[in-house]
Structure 1
């Protein structure tokens, strides 16, 4: 190692300029015997990263000329992990007025648990016929994970959300559980009420524009199928469905004569139609949804190459759900009857989105949609 730069051997490349600057600043101060401190990550000979707290001083000759750096450091990796673990556990305990917690070793044996943990967990594991199997799965996950994670168990008709906080340096795991049964029931009830409100808004638009009747519902069905095939979880799928169900709600501001005009729209009329995504977003922006519905609605006519409206967004600046909605909307609109033309059918509509793949539309989303059409999952 003699004759080589230790920074090049041990410090991650992205951090090297910062450390050199710290040393240069210390040398530039022309101070003698001053102790400086800083922290940085190093890479050990086993390729493991450690955090080191450094103390260093500048070695100078009698004339104050810098001869080199004298430094020593302390490995604080375990201390940082312990502090983070304590912070995570404390945050969990503070968030729940009736905390349930236990600390297990890596074999799943309990080292420490409060009464609430013993009563709740042990009781439910005994009550449920599959409780032991699920508890074993939880312990297996706790043994294997090295990052904070969550695990949900449904035992005896109760929903329990476990937070696993491993402390690998000391080989034990904190388990903290929240009973979310009542919260899930309340959330489900609110979700149903919200869905009814969304459908009511959609029906208002359909009453003004008969050609929109069923369009939003069909687009929602297509969008959800695409989203599901691309791996969106149930929460995001629900938000996508709600946004799709009212994606054209902004057309309420457009005169019905324009919406149902049997001939091609003039440039002025089309420009007025193009205001509906922003109008729809503004219409619901003040409502506190669990999903970015306003943004999805506002962006459903944006295109990957920036040719869309209202803001000319490009690529990943467009929400993924809005990209899905854009493909689903185009497919349904092309296939179905419009005031100024008959429906083109599913085959022609599919060709339209394929022609726009990679330019107007997200190519992966187009592929997922076409695959569903070819499999008979999407029919129009």
Structure 2
């Protein structure tokens, strides 16, 4: 159910919030993303219970909605076996499965030092969860240090109203917050917070991993991120109505033939927020309606091609789905009120 709210948002009431709203962006393409819609609803308070819910289905494609409440950590996340699952201890493993929704309910769902790994899977929805401090080195480790990681033939994933955060960069043991590689396509990240990390996320693990793409990022907050907001290697990405604050080294890094459509984003107190960085393998961008508030730009070099200080389009990207753009000046306020877990699945209503 949705209620009108002040300051340009619509408030959704999400106690069983898997049903509130629908997928947006590229996740609506390729047959759409519905997650576990129409399936059984199961409540889980541990990682082991999440795995058991997957394993107790009739098949690996049987739709299921898993409502998660409480803190999920290494101590309560064990491997569970079954014909409809392929799980592992110390990580939420969504592997070789489809038609699943994970949604935080009640007092909230926090995945503490425990990542979510999506592999050889399709039609996955993750909403209203917090994933924090996932490490690839030190102790404990999980998911290669990614908060949410997708790899190997993944299709149609929608992550919405979630908070992904670390407490430092690679030297502190962390990797990316939202990574896609090895043929991952048709993904949307919406109304989410990514913060306090050396790396926001990537599309493509190397300059030769260019089979990924068709990814939408909208109404997200990137805050205190060193780089990769995101890093794009090949493929197409659509980034609109995001708020970027304190991108410390670089932001949207389009490389290796990637094409980014960058619309009505608000960049603030940041450096080199758009361009091709750390490589001579050029990427491209189409820009419109963005605000650059106290953004500094480095000088061009052999492995450094910032789009600014006056960014201009150098490609054209056709978007196949309908979307509405909020006025750029409204973006900081709207994103502050709507993005992240525990915000009642609030969404913009197009005004501020």
TM-score range, shorter chain: under 0.3
Which of the two has greater strand per residue?
2
- Flag the structure with more relative contact order, 1 or 2, with Cα contacts below 8 A and sequence separation at least 6: 2
- TM-score, normalised to structure 2's length? 0.24
